[in-house]
Structure 1
Amino acid sequence: MIGILLITHGSYGEALIQNVCHVLNRRPALIAQFGVAAQDDPLDILPLARLLLKEVDGGEGVLVMTDVFGATPGNLALKLLEPGHVEGVA
């Protein structure tokens, strides 16, 4: 199963997951969110983002989604990319 990691501003990612839980009546497996606060330093939070990425990786890869390309969550997601492991960046 492909994992899903949401990297968003504040609690937006958790709100999206709660909406999915409401529709499915359960929390999907291999899904996590990482809320970035305004005062967070991207280099300081990068290790935690890498840890979450590993936690949701079931062996088939992880879909990483962000809320705003070019903002801190999007830039953090780009730092998670590993050469040779990227299928595509949209």
Structure 2
Amino acid sequence: MVGIVVASHGSLASGMLDALELLSGEHEAIQAIGLQRGDSPDTFVSNVEDAINAVDEGDGVLVLVDLFGGTPSNAVAQLLERDDLNAVAGVNLPMLLSVVFARDEMNLSALTEEAVRASCDSVVDIRHKLFDTSDDEEDF
């Protein structure tokens, strides 16, 4: 099973795991880590590495970060020389749900692609989805 780490600014990562557990119960080999005010970037890299090692069961680890270019993604980028580690920026709850349920059936590379696909598919203009039928009418 691919391990999962959610890394973010502040408590977003722990909130995402809380929401995940609310929707689907507890899961193994998953951790949240948040960069807190006053944390040094070097300490955060070390903490991210510890989280990665804690969830690594031999099939690799996927790290989901909140924002590309921020300290959490930069910390993970410093660790990407590892062949058993991938990272995706822009974590959202649908992405997290999708990878948690797919990680037993996919390798690290496929799971990384699934994370990106799930995130893109989850962005929906609700008003358009619910009320705009003009697209449906064009199909007939």
- Flag whether TM exceeds 0.5 (same fold): yes
Distance 1:5 1:89 in 2: 9
Match runs of 1:38-53 below 5 Å: 38-53=37-52
Partner residue of 2:34? 35
- State the shift of 1:38 in Å: 3.0
Q: Aligned to 1:28, what secondary structure does the other structure show? A: coil
Kept in 1, the 8 Å contact 2:5–2:52? The answer is yes
**Structure 1: gaps of 5 or more residues:** none
Looking at CA atoms only, which structure, 1 or 2, has the larger radius of gyration? 2
Which has the bigger relative contact order, CA under 8 A and spacing at least 6?
1
Runs of 4+ in 1 over 6 A off after TM superposition: none
Give unpaired runs (5+ residues) of structure 2: 89-140
TM-score (norm 1): 0.86
What is the alpha-carbon root mean square deviation over aligned residues?
1.8
Greater Cα shift, 36-45 or 11-20: 36-45
What is the CA–CA distance in structure 1 between the aligned matches of 2:56 and 2:26, rounded to whole Å? 16
Distance 2:87 2:11 in 1: 24
TM-score (norm 2): 0.57
Partner Cα distance (2:84, 2:7) in 1: 17
